[in-house]
A and B are shown apart, each in its own frame.
Chain A
Amino acid sequence: MPLNRLGILGINRRNIDYTARFNPRRRYPLVDNKLLTKKLCIEGDIPTPRLLAKAEHHFELATLVQRIEKLDDFVVKPARGAMGNGIVVIVGREGEGFQRTGGRIMQMDDIRYHASGIISGLYALGGTQDMVMVEERLVVHPELSKVAFDGVPDIRVIVYRGYPIMAMARLPTKQSDGRANLHQGAVGVGIDIGSGLMSAAILRNEAIDTHPDTAEKLLGRSIPDFDRVMEIAMAAAEKTALGYLGADVVIDAHKGPVILELNARPGLSIQLCNRAGLLPRIQSIDAVAGEPRSAFERLELSREFARAWRQA
């Protein structure tokens, strides 16, 4: 199979030639710990979901519970979780209990037990101590809620040396249980950097044109506020000083695009969704990345390149 001809980036090459080269190890905690990411975003005026409560030790759980008591909807997540593991989304109250996405009910005790598991490092990379964070729940932009089943779709933008080079949307399905994780059966949609239009879609490695649950047509649909999505992704890359970054952006109905999390070793399936390899795009950027440019200039340059990338 001509993976080389297509310019597909393999995991070995990504690790050696890109992440190891452009992402200094000491900056990894900035993205691996979502609390640090949030702090960084606030410093840089980059929109991110509001933090409602956090707990670092088991004894802080009581305070956390008190804060939650008053809330109707929120998200509980581990600060150092991976692949969306350990995230609980509460969409409303149901008497004494809380209603999760998908309709299941959780009691306060369940939430407390879950939070305690998070602190013990159950979902953390490497199984070390972790922190619980409670964030505001984002409301999916109506444009995107048509193509997402019971969950929050997100936009992943790969920013290479300050330039956005590839993007995809991950749309939750019934099968993925509301999660935006391709492994679990979410739809992956390639997005054209130049126009912000959905250009190709896959579900579990099969090409599709419509969302499996909502039957809405995907191809040709545009991502709302896509310029802003790329802007905040580039701003996050600049703030973290990571040269090869995956920024996960959620488009909130009220706040517009917000940074949900950052990834220093972004996955390679994005190439599948876009039906294109990363290498030609990386090479285009390598040719011009020497000169300093403003964010606006970089974005314009990427969009210029996008025409050639689309044809490749």
Chain B
Amino acid sequence: MNRSVAWTGSILLLFGVGLFVYRFWVLGMPLLPTDPEGVWQVEMDVTLRGRGPGALEAALPSNDSHQIIFDETSSSEGLDLVIDHEGPGRLGVWSGELSGIHRIAYAFRVRLSGERFALASAPVRGEVPKSVTKAYLKSTPETPAASKEVAQRLESLGLPPSDDPSGRLRTIFAFVDHQITTVDEGTDDALLTMVEREGSPRGKARLMVTLLRAAEIPARLVAGLRLEERRSPDRIHWVECWIDEGWVSVSAQGDFFAERPKDVLQLRYEDDVLIEPTKVFAMDSSYSALRQRLSPRDLANMMIPENPFFAAVSLYRLPVPTQKALRLLLLLPLGALMVSLYRNLVGFRTFGTFMPILIALALRETSLQAGLLILGLVVGLGVVTRRFLEGLRLLVVPRISLLLCLVILLVLGVSLVAEEFDQRDLVGSVFPLVVITMLIERLALVIAEEGTRNALSRAFSSIVIAVLTYPVFRSTVAEHLMFGFPELVIAIMGCLVFIGGYTGFRATDYVRFRILGQGGESIPSEIFGIAPETEGKTGAP
């Protein structure tokens, strides 16, 4: 490759990519138009009935490496909220004089992220912090880790050595998951669960904590919610145990192992009571959760960075209709890049240089199958009609114009039929019509001149490129990236310089010249009647 080509390409590419990286890395502009994990809006609703002094305790979520809480709001009729920060979680306490029915609403937004934990392999050397061993190895009435039944059970399980906590966790998990039946109405007690081989979800979780602690692995019970989009969230418990350098989540019911699912919200440690009233006649409580996407307004705010220069050049400041047009425009360089790739590196032959991306653009307005069907129908009918027009012997330009009128009529018909079947129509913008007309004309010409086979192969590769470009044109991510980071056009220009300077073979060259590679048979010299020595009269150069 030519040196100046390499320089030009590199400079463009580095400049475009550099600016892009700077803007999302340093200025923190979002790469994706929506948060893939989503943001949940969670609400707790409690209705109380009582008279005289009373209180309600509820577990409140706290930030950790898997959940970030924001926009917390609370409304309560006549009750005061105090947040208790003692211990690993937070506890909200609403208290005051009750007089009849009170409603307490507490809402927050949370961004959740899941994680799969890699279990450390033996021997594990990490020191467990003192605070963790002190709090989470002890034997309590709910988790009687020091009892002799537990010690016997562990012995019969045949645990791996103590420097392999991951192995121990696996053994205990297998025992609790496989050998103990979950019965919703079963016992909540750890030991009874172990002896009777059945227990409630709570009993199983407690048993698991007990066994882990007895096996010298710090463990704690966690209570929380499993959020779901269309129904109220389930209250669940699971177990966290300290392996090597951090807490690892495990479900005592086998729902997950060494994994924090991304729809799980942690509310309370050690105790699994989420809402607890005191001195109250009656209480009704519920949780609800709603998944929220980033709103266009939130996104636009994030896309205008604080840096005054970049704020000034942000396209998000333009009026919305202009933005809409520019969004489409900025997809074209991507399409052109794809066409260049397919034509110069792969070697596809197409109808016209940009015909495939214009087809993809036309398809953008419809679904792929419907679009291709309609396109095929219109082009097919067009080619047949052109055959008929051939017989009339018309001049070229009026004939193509006739075809254009015909295409418009066909599209009208298709739109009416589509309306009948409640489908979206194909009528996108004006130029796809001209595109379709030219497609018909060229297709008819190539059929006549180069045969149907050649025409179909070219039509096929045009359609292939269009179909491969289509998802890019439909992708909101691509649209967001190109519109939010127009410097990517410069990066694309860099790529185009590189493709343009590529002197190597196209993929189709290998197919085309394949017989030269296969046989390798050289031409037999008998063919040349004259002996090589006798020809050529002049001397060497």
Residues of A participating in the B interface, judged by any CB pair closer than 8 Å: 1-4, 6, 8, 10-13, 16-17, 58, 83, 85-86, 109, 113, 116-117, 120-123, 183-184, 190, 192, 194-195, 197-200, 202, 205-207, 219-220, 222, 268-269, 271-272, 275, 277, 288, 297, 300-301, 303-304, 306-307, 310-311
A-B pairs, 4 with minimum CB distance: A120-B396, A1-B517, A13-B503, A300-B538
Give A220 to B454 CA distance when docked, in angstroms.
33
Contact B532 A307 (CB under 8 A): yes
| Max chain A Cβ within 10 angstroms of own Cβ: one of B454, B504, B513 | B513
Partner of A122, one of B396, B512, B532, B537: B396
Q: How far is the CB of B381 from chain A (nearest CB, A)?
A: 21
Give A241 to B530 CA distance when docked, in angstroms.
34
Q: How far is the CB of B454 from chain A (nearest CB, A)?
A: 7
Provide the residues of chain A in CB contact with B521, threshold 8 Å.
275
State which residues 495-523 of B face A: CB under 8 Å. 501-506, 509-510, 512-517, 519, 521-523
Provide the residues of chain B in CB contact with A6, threshold 8 Å.
513, 516-517
Contact B517 A197 (CB under 8 A): no
Segment at the interface with A among B309-317, B427-435, B443-451: B443-451
Instruction: Verify if B347 is at the interface (C-beta below 8 Å from A).
Output: yes
Partner of B505, one of A12, A123, A197, A220: A12
Contact A10 B505 (CB under 8 A): yes
Give A269 to B449 CA distance when docked, in angstroms.
20
State which residues 390-437 of B face A: CB under 8 Å. 393, 395-397
Interface of A is mostly: mixed
Give A17 to B500 CA distance when docked, in angstroms.
12
Contact B396 A272 (CB under 8 A): no
Instruction: Verify if B158 is at the interface (C-beta below 8 Å from A).
Output: no
Provide the residues of chain A in CB contact with B515, threshold 8 Å.
202, 205-207, 272
Provide the residues of chain B in CB contact with A198, threshold 8 Å.
527
Provide the residues of chain B in CB contact with A200, threshold 8 Å.
523
Contact A12 B527 (CB under 8 A): no
Contact A12 B523 (CB under 8 A): no
Number of B interface residues, CB 8 Å?
A: 42
Give A269 to B515 CA distance when docked, in angstroms.
12
Provide the residues of chain A in CB contact with B541, threshold 8 Å.
288, 301, 304
Contact B502 A12 (CB under 8 A): yes
Instruction: Verify if B529 is at the interface (C-beta below 8 Å from A).
Output: yes
Give A79 to B541 CA distance when docked, in angstroms.
40
State which residues 463-521 of B face A: CB under 8 Å. 501-506, 509-510, 512-517, 519, 521
Give A195 to B454 CA distance when docked, in angstroms.
36
CB-based nearest A residue for B1? A16
Partner of B504, one of A10, A86, A205, A306: A10
Contact B501 A16 (CB under 8 A): yes
Give A304 to B536 CA distance when docked, in angstroms.
6
Provide the residues of chain B in CB contact with A3, threshold 8 Å.
505, 509-510, 513, 516-517
Contact B536 A300 (CB under 8 A): yes
Give A207 to B519 CA distance when docked, in angstroms.
10
Instruction: Verify if B388 is at the interface (C-beta below 8 Å from A).
Output: no
16 contacts between A and B (CB under 8 A): A1-B510, A12-B502, A12-B503, A12-B505, A12-B506, A58-B395, A85-B449, A116-B395, A123-B449, A200-B523, A205-B515, A272-B515, A288-B541, A304-B536, A304-B540, A307-B532
Contact A197 B450 (CB under 8 A): no
Contact A199 B527 (CB under 8 A): yes
Contact A184 B540 (CB under 8 A): no
Q: How far is the CB of A107 from chain B (nearest CB, A)?
A: 12
Give A58 to B393 CA distance when docked, in angstroms.
14
- Answer whether A271 and B536 are a contact pair too, CB < 8 Å, given A12-B506, A17-B503, A184-B451: no
- Answer whether A183 and B450 are a contact pair too, CB < 8 Å, given A10-B509, A199-B523, A304-B538: yes
Contact A11 B509 (CB under 8 A): yes
Give A189 to B277 CA distance when docked, in angstroms.
97
CB-based nearest A residue for B530? A195
Contact B512 A272 (CB under 8 A): yes
Provide the residues of chain A in CB contact with B523, threshold 8 Å.
190, 199-200, 275, 310
Instruction: Verify if B182 is at the interface (C-beta below 8 Å from A).
Output: no
CB-based nearest A residue for B524? A219
Provide the residues of chain B in CB contact with A120, threshold 8 Å.
395-397
B210-226 interface bits toward A, Cβ cutoff 8 Å, 1 = contact, 0 = none: 00000000000000000
Can you add 18 more A-B contacts, CB < 8 Å, to A83-B449, A121-B396, A207-B515? A1-B510, A8-B516, A11-B506, A12-B504, A12-B505, A13-B503, A113-B393, A190-B523, A195-B535, A197-B527, A197-B528, A198-B527, A200-B523, A207-B519, A220-B526, A271-B516, A275-B523, A304-B540
Contact A1 B506 (CB under 8 A): no
Q: How far is the CB of B365 from chain A (nearest CB, A)?
A: 27
